[in-house]
Amino acid sequence: MSHTIIRFDNVVKEYDETVVLKEVSFEIEQGKFYTLLGPSGCGKTTILRLIAGFSEPTSGDIYFDGKKINTVPANKRKVNTVFQDYALFPHMNVFDNVAFGLKIKKLPKQEIEVKVKDALRMVQLSGFEERQISEMSGGQRQRVAIARALVNEPDILLLDEPLSALDLKLRTAMQSELRDLQKRLGITFIFVTHDQEEALAMSDEIFVLNEGNIEQSGTPGDIYDEPINRFVANFIGESNIVDGVMREDNLVEFVGKSFECVDSGMRKNEPVEIMIRPEDLSIVPIEKGKLVATVDTILFRGVHYEIFCVDKEGNAWTVHSTKRSQEGQEIGIYFEPEDIHVMRFGESEEDFDARLESYDED
Ligand SMILES: Nc1ncnc2c1ncn2[C@@H]1O[C@H](COP(=O)(O)OP(=O)(O)OP(=O)(O)O)[C@@H](O)[C@H]1O
């Protein structure tokens, strides 16, 4: 049975009065692969540093296995970090790099040997003990860095953009390798990236961050299929977004028409944003289309055509289709009720309520 291993309770982090984390609360379960995803500067590394114990929260509490650890020093936490640049010692061989922390702790020589060999085996580097770091490839260095973290038998492994220095092919290979490693070891991984495809491919759970807030957390499927707002929808994958208004529980109005949708739990007359993924739109004869649009540009993307069109109201729509159409052609666009994703406006609660009121007055 998995349990909560880390809990953030209204954690705020400020540097010189700049708020970089705004009352962040979340739970991390033992044994899962988590990803913190978000643009540069949104606070991903700040969260890792708080978990690792390299910095303390300005307010709020951090719990590890139910115990408050706000001020517990890094070396007393069962957490290890793999840094973006790996921070290996280039003048030492693989064995000495991995053994470094254990030697500092003054463990007996034999025990160090067993632990280092175990750690190297986990990352498939047995036999590389004597190699110099300068003689290893990027992917191998990455694995040494992971072995050096694993040798301490952490409960949680923090990985701060560890793949960003690798070329695309190696990066993809390391994604599955890391994923396999996490499953094999069963320890909690918290992985930081700004690459949405990487996050979708690797994670059990993703936290999408924006400007010091967690915008949404959930499985890759939840986040891709049901983004909570425009920021998440745009950050994860491609999307068509237009303004709309809820008319009934399962009826939404946009581009001047009413469409059946799945019950979104939104209030009646609530202004909303509508998101439809380009792959959920299909091109049909005009009389069968839910929308009618004119094809503007077509790009061939290998597996599909990316078709940019504009509807009668002037809204732009992107359709992914295996069928080619003609630029300038009028087409019908079809989608199912479940392809319509109803989202809240990405505005403050206050602005949202003000807009709702103004709408009611109309
Ligand atoms: N020691 C510090 N002093 C002052 N400001 C800091 C400090 N560390 C981070 N910040 C600021 O906090 C914000 C969040 O930084 P953080 O490193 O957590 O972002 P990130 O999401 O990891 O970004 P990136 O993807 O670029 O690494 C940034 O605006 C950054 O400039």
Residue whose Cα lies nearest atom 7 of ligand 1: it is: 15
Residue pointed to by tokens 């991995």: 98
Mutate to test the pocket of ligand 1, among 24, 45, 84 (most ligand atoms within 8 A of CB): 45
Residue 15 Cα to ligand 1 middle (Å): 9
- Quick: pLDDT tens for 163-216: 887 788 888 888 888 899 899 889 999 999 989 999 999 999 999 999 999 999
Residue whose Cα lies nearest atom 6 of ligand 1: it is: 15
Backbone angles phi, psi at 169, to 5 degrees: -65, -45
Q: Residue 31 forms beta bridges with which residues?
A: none
pLDDT of residue 265: 78
- Domains of the chain (ranges; CATH) run 4-225 (3.40.50.300), 238-361 (2.40.50.140)
Residue 23 contacts residue 11 (beta carbons within 8 Å): yes
pLDDT of residue 306: 95
- Quick: pLDDT tens for 277-317: 999 999 999 999 999 999 999 999 988 999 999 998 899 99
Determine if ligand 1 sits within 6 Å of the CB of residue 262: no
Determine if ligand 1 sits within 6 Å of the CB of residue 341: no
Residue 72 Cα to ligand 1 middle (Å): 22
Q: How far apart are CA 304 and CA 319, in angstroms?
A: 10
pLDDT of residue 85: 72
pLDDT of residue 48: 96
Q: Residue 244 forms beta bridges with which residues?
A: 254, 272
pLDDT of residue 324: 84
pLDDT of residue 4: 95
pLDDT of residue 139: 84
Residue 57 Cα to ligand 1 middle (Å): 14
Mutate to test the pocket of ligand 1, among 8, 11, 16, 42 (most ligand atoms within 8 A of CB): 42
Reported ipTM = 0.94
Residue 271 Cα to ligand 1 middle (Å): 34
Q: How far apart are CA 190 and CA 286, in angstroms?
A: 48
CA 312 to chain centre: 36
pLDDT of residue 336: 96
Task: Give Cα separations from 97 to 112, 139, 189, 279 (angstroms).
Answer: 12, 16, 21, 48
Determine if ligand 1 sits within 6 Å of the CB of residue 39: no
pTM for this entry: 0.86
In the chain, which residues have pLDDT < 70? 1, 345-362
Mutate to test the pocket of ligand 1, among 13, 14, 37, 46 (most ligand atoms within 8 A of CB): 46
Helix (H) or strand (E) holding 161: none
Residue 2 contacts residue 33 (beta carbons within 8 Å): no
pLDDT of residue 344: 79
pLDDT of residue 355: 57
Residue 85 Cα to ligand 1 middle (Å): 17
Residues 6 or more apart in contact with residue 210 via CB below 8 angstroms = 38, 39, 42, 231, 235
User: What SS3 state is found at 51?
Assistant: helix
Residue whose Cα lies nearest atom 29 of ligand 1: it is: 41
Determine if ligand 1 sits within 6 Å of the CB of residue 45: yes
Residue 40 Cα to ligand 1 middle (Å): 8
